[in-house]
Amino acid sequence: MDFIPPICHICIIIEHTMKIYYTHIHEKHDPLYEGYNAEGNMPSYEKALRAEIVRTALENTNWAEFQSPSNFSLDPILAVHSAAYIAYLQSAYADWRGYSPVEGMAFIPGTYSIDYEQARSLRGNEQSGFFLMDTTVAITPGTFTAARHAVDCALSGAQALITGDHVSFALTRPPGHHAGTEICGGYCYLNNAAIAAEWLSHTGKIVILDVDYHAGNGTQHIFYQNPHVLTLSLHADPAFEYPYYGGLAEQTGEGPGFGFHRNFPLPKDTNQSQYLKALDQALKLIITFNPKYLIVSAGMDTYYKEPLGSFKLSQECINRIGKQVASLRLPTLIVMEGGYHLPSLGDNFVAFLEPFVEK
């Protein structure tokens, strides 16, 4: 697969409003902790307040139109995630409850299996070492319900593109891009962007562009052998940053998907110039691939005050990233991923989204 044509910076998207797909059901998943250390419980960065901050910021614009998501069946989810994994997520809280030191939150395992076949043959909480990648994915009574409704937001946004909208935003929580076919990690349980991409792929070629600070390892895994979905991820180099084993520059797909995945691992303290240079390369690949739809996994943890990041991007740069992506003039679904500096989170999302609706 050759990616050679020069990028064409076409200006500006024609939408004057943007549909925002949101549901308060995300609040059913709100774990207090994401692990334990010698000092005790570690508070979770991924909390319900994140989505509410973004919602409030969008309500203060004159272009956001909030929509309740449609209810989709499990079929689009099962097209991406294994049935065994979904069954695990549905039963995990009940299976773990007797082991949990925290009321209303499942036990967070500290052991992980490298023998996948043996692990899959186990039952109940014994399976946790197979399906969970790390300790950030505690399961509460409402985790699966919240994750499933986040998928509904993403699918509703995708459906809006099919019916003629040029852009939509799925205010998804919990996030999804670290979730693989049958593994969760990094606060992610169901891969919202990947499920929407798979659902849309019957209409034509799809691109997923991931601009979260962390590599979209789950998305990479799901489409690694798929030539119909081009996956691109700009992120902190996994040599020093989570998820460590996904997002490497040499990981470019395999089999029929060889050449249809591209990682752009960036160094600590990446500045605006470095980031925009990598983004320009990614946009060239998108233009060459000529997709029918673009899906953006949008995380605001590239911001310079981000507690879980090391990049040095300003809000002005985040706005410029939005402008560069919007200049492609592709029908675009934007899906919320990370971002954990709460005082800036809402304004950063507005800064990213606004170029898609500029007049």
Report the pLDDT value the prediction gives residue 237, as an integer from 0 to 100.
97
From 174, 36, 41, select the one nearest 109 (Cα to Cα). Answer: 36
Residue from 178, 179, 180, 173 nearest 154 by CA: 173
CA distance 33 to 307: 16
CB 247 within 8 A of CB 238: yes
pLDDT at res. 2: 41
Type of residue at 311: F
Q: What integer pLDDT is reported at residue 358 of this predicted model? A: 72
Check residue 110 and give its pLDDT. Answer: 58
- Separation between Cα atoms, residue 293 and residue 315, nearest integer Å: 26
| pTM recorded for the entire structure | 0.91
Element (DSSP H or E) covering residue 151: helix 143-162
Residue with token string 């059913």: 28
Q: Average pLDDT per run of 10 along the chain, which is 359 residues long?
A: 40 70 97 71 91 98 98 98 93 74 61 55 59 85 96 98 97 98 94 98 97 97 97 97 94 97 98 98 98 98 97 98 98 98 98 90
**CATH architecture for segment(s) 18-30+45-81+142-357:** 3-Layer(aba) Sandwich (3.40)
pLDDT given for residue 106 in this prediction:
65
Q: What is the dihedral of CA 239, 277, 170, 83, to 10 degrees?
A: -40
- Distance CA(167)–CA(358), nearest Å, equals 12
Q: Where are the beta strands (DSSP E) in the chain?
A: 18-21, 33-37, 40-43, 64-67, 167-170, 206-210, 229-236, 261-266, 293-298, 332-336
First to last CA, the chain: 36
Q: Give the pLDDT score at 5.
A: 38
Active site residues: 178
Strands, E, within 129-283: which ranges?
167-170, 206-210, 229-236, 261-266
Q: How many residues does the chain have?
A: 359
Q: What is the pLDDT of residue 311?
A: 98
Can you give the pLDDT at residue 124? 54
pLDDT at 220: 97
Where do we find the tokens 């593994």? 183
pLDDT, residue 294, reads 98
CA angle 38, 107, 339 (to 5 degrees): 75
